[in-house]
Amino acid sequence: MIFKKILPFIFFLLSTFIYAEEPVAKLKIYGFVRNDFYFNSRINTESIDGLFFLYPKPVSLNSSGIDTNAVPQAEMLSVNTRIGVDLTGSPILGASSSAKIETDFAGFGSSYYVLRIRQAYFALNWKNTELMVGQTWHPLYGNVIPTVLDCNAGAPFQPNNRSPQIKVVQNINKHFSVIAAAVYEMQYLSQGPLGASNIYLKNALVPDLYVGTECKTTHWTSGLGLDVKTIKPSTEEITSVSATVYSQYINQKFQLKVKSFWGENLTDQQMLSGYGVSGINPTNGAATYTNFNIISSWLNAVYGKKWQVGAYLGLSQNLGTNHSLLANADGSFTAYGNGYSNDSQLLLDRLFRISPNISYNLPNFNVGLEYDFTSASYGKLQSNGLVSNPYQVNNHRIVAEASYFF
């Protein structure tokens, strides 16, 4: 009887002795408890029950001639609450080692919101080289991001994508570095005949490839990057190329940031564009595809610390397709992407946003208010990927947030 009571204690002492010499990783827990309230003047394309706002939906008239999307909405949510763990361990292969696990409550379950993986990676850092393996921000998201209150972080003008990847950063000197990455899809997906899915990239075998350069000084961060992605929506593949250039200046209380994109099929980045059916392969009868092109830019200015004011400007413009779209028997076109509906044949051609904000910031607490005016121009899709007879719909959005940081 006594032996049974002391047996667990014996095992504890043995395990302590055996592993006493093993290094233990240091943990740092961080995160915040966040509450968001929002108001929208109409129904929008969004996610997380409206918390992640993208753009207003087009006019949809019922039999009485009433726009069913012209419905104001308001909601309060706490699912953007976040918790993370930073770990530092012993050297590996001559490199310092670290890891990150980060989660929030914005995943969807069978009944309501559940925990989801935001980031989960490890990193090895040598003197001039960093190797990162796991899920983290896509390189197109980058180190220059807008300072806004809305949790969309400037999307869809700014990429928003966290994906599994292998990334290498090579420092050429103390200012200049080169970045290369191979990225796969998990939560942020390409569009296609089966809807949003990672199957298109998976079937293409080759990961999304990125290469870029960046220069950092005391106040400036500037860079450019090139992304090449091949997906296989059917038996035919389509390759998309996108490029970005960005810069930011930060000095004490003032921040000025700018980023521009020219891109093809950026649906996995939650941006506009996509691809469409351009023909039929005479050998196997499968559809062939052509990319939609967009140009997207944003400008962000921020001033202050304790009291902080800022403004965000975004503009995205559809540039059409590389090749003519193939018309169906009824004269319609088949395409896949954000801002397009095969049923209505309406395409979001131009998107504009202006959003000023103000916040009050303490070491463990902040509260803020933001007004967002977003205007979308829709029109009927034409064979060249442009639109005819465009019209505008506008959304007025108010976001109020309060967060406690730890």
* 309-349 residue pLDDT tens: 999 999 999 999 999 999 999 999 999 999 999 999 999 99
Phi and psi at residue 43, in whole multiples of 5°?
-75, 140
Cα–Cα distance between 252 and 274 in angstroms, integer? 40
Per-chain mean pLDDT for the chain = 94
Phi and psi at residue 159, in whole multiples of 5°?
-55, 145
Q: If one looks up domain 2-405 in CATH, what number appears?
A: 2.40.160.10
Delimit the domains of the chain by residue range.
Answer: 2-405
Cα–Cα distance between 379 and 213 in angstroms, integer? 38
Structure tokens at 268: 């996995």
Q: Residue 5's pLDDT is what?
A: 47
Residue 7: pLDDT over 70: no
Q: Residue 113's pLDDT is what?
A: 78
CB 377 within 8 A of CB 10: no
Could you give the percent of the chain with pLDDT greater than 70? 94
Q: Residue 25's pLDDT is what?
A: 84
